[in-house]
C-alpha cells in the first residue's frame, strides 16, 4: 500500500471502468464501520484495481450513516433505507446499484479479513461465477467461536444439506464474490430479505448452473453480533421452507 494510492482513491472519483464493487450491509454499525472501511482501503490500495465501496445502510438509528458521510470519500456511496428491512434486502439494494465487473458482499464486522478477498478473486478469475468464503472447508481458520455458536452452526448446516441440497459446507459466511452478471441475476430473483438470504442465493446459483467455488478463509467471531440464535433458527427453517415452496410453485422459473 502507498498513501498516494489511497489518497487518490479517497479524493478522486474513479473514471476507469470498475473492476470491483464491495457491498457492506450496515445496521447500527457506528463502532465498526469506519475500521472496516479502513481495512478494505488499506488492502486494495496495494492492488491495481478500480473499485468502489457501497454501504447499504439498513435504517440505522445510530450514527452509522453520518460517520460514513463525514469521511467524504469520493468512491464510497451510502444507500439508505426507510427502515430496517433486513440484511438480505440491504445486500440486494447494494448489489443492484453496483457498477463493478465483480461484486463482493462483506459483513460490516470484518470477521473475514479484507486480505481474504485475494483467494476468492483467484477463483473467479479462474472461471467460477461465485466464490464464497468458508469456515468449514479444509484449511479454514476459525477463532473465538463459542461452543453454543459451534453447535448452532453445525445444526444449521445439517438443515441446509437436508432441505436444500446446496453443494457447499458453509452457506452463511458473510464474504462472497460474484461475477457481475451472476450477481445481478441472482439478486434480481432473490425473495428472502432476512439473515438467511444466502441460502436462496446459493440455491439459485446451483439451480441456474453457475459454478460455485468454496474457499477456506480465516474468520474471527467478532464481538457485538446482532444474530439472536433462537429467533434466527426459526427464520432459517422458515426460509428453507419458503425457498422450496417457491421452487415448487415456479416462482424462480417466472423470474
pLDDT for residue 225: 59
| CA nearest neighbour of 213 among 179, 165, 254 | 179
How many Cα atoms are found within 13 Å in the side-chain-facing hemisphere of 213? 19
SS3 22: strand
- Confidence at 162, pLDDT banded by 50, 70, 90: confident
What are residue 79's DSSP bridge partners? 56
Say what the pLDDT of residue 228 is: 64
Residue 151's pLDDT band, with cuts at 50, 70 and 90, is low
CATH number given to 3-254? 3.90.550.10
For the chain, the residue count is: 255
Q: What is the pLDDT of residues 17-46, one digit of tens each?
A: 999 999 999 999 999 999 999 999 999 999
C-alpha cell recorded at residue 108: 460490516
For residue 186, give the nearest of 215, 163, 206, 157 by alpha carbon: 206
Q: What is the mean pLDDT of residues 182-188?
A: 97
Does the global pTM surpass 0.85? yes
Q: What mean pLDDT do residues 209-216 have? A: 97
Between 152 and 217, the more confident residue is 217
**Cα separation values, 105 from 126, 144, 173, 211, 229, Å:** 19, 22, 10, 17, 22
- What percent of the chain clears pLDDT 90, i.e. is strictly above it? 76
E strand intervals along the chain: 20-26, 51-57, 76-79, 102-106, 130-134, 141-143, 175-179, 212-216, 218-220
Amino acid at each position: 500500500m502507498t498513501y498516494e494510492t489511497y489518497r487518490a482513491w479517497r479524493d478522486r472519483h474513479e473514471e476507469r471502468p470498475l473492476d470491483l464493487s464491495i457491498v457492506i450491509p450496515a445496521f447500527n454499525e457506528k463502532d465498526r464501520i469506519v475500521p472496516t472501511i479502513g481495512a478494505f482501503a488499506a488492502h486494495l490500495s496495494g492492488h491495481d484495481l478500480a473499485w468502489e465501496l457501497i454501504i447499504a445502510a439498513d435504517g440505522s438509528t445510530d450514527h452509522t450513516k453520518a460517520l460514513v458521510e463525514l469521511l467524504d470519500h469520493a468512491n464510497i456511496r451510502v444507500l439508505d433505507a426507510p427502515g430496517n428491512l433486513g440484511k438480505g434486502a440491504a445486500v440486494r439494494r447494494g448489489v443492484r446499484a453496483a457498477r463493478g465487473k465483480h461484486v463482493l458482499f462483506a459483513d460490516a464486522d470484518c470477521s473475514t479479513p479484507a486480505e481474504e478477498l485475494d483467494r476468492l478473486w483467484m477463483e473467479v478469475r479462474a472461471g467460477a461465477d461465485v466464490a464464497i468464503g468458508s469456515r468449514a472447508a479444509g484449511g479454514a481458520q476459525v477463532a473465538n467461536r463459542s461452543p453454543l455458536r459451534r453447535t448452532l452452526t453445525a445444526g444449521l448446516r445439517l438443515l441446509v444439506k437436508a432441505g436444500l441440497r446446496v453443494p457447499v459446507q458453509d452457506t452463511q459466511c458473510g464474504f462472497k464474490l460474484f461475477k457481475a452478471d451472476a450477481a445481478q441475476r441472482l439478486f434480481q430473483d432473490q425473495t428472502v430479505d432476512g439473515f438467511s438470504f444466502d441460502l436462496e442465493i446459493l440455491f439459485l446459483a446451483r439451480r441456474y448452473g453457475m459454478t460455485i467455488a468454496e474457499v477456506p478463509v480465516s474468520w474471527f467471531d467478532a464481538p457485538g453480533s446482532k444474530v439472536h440464535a433462537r429467533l434466527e433458527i426459526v427464520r432459517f427453517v422458515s426460509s428453507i421452507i419458503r425457498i422450496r415452496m417457491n421452487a415448487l410453485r415456479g416462482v424462480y422459473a417466472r423470474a
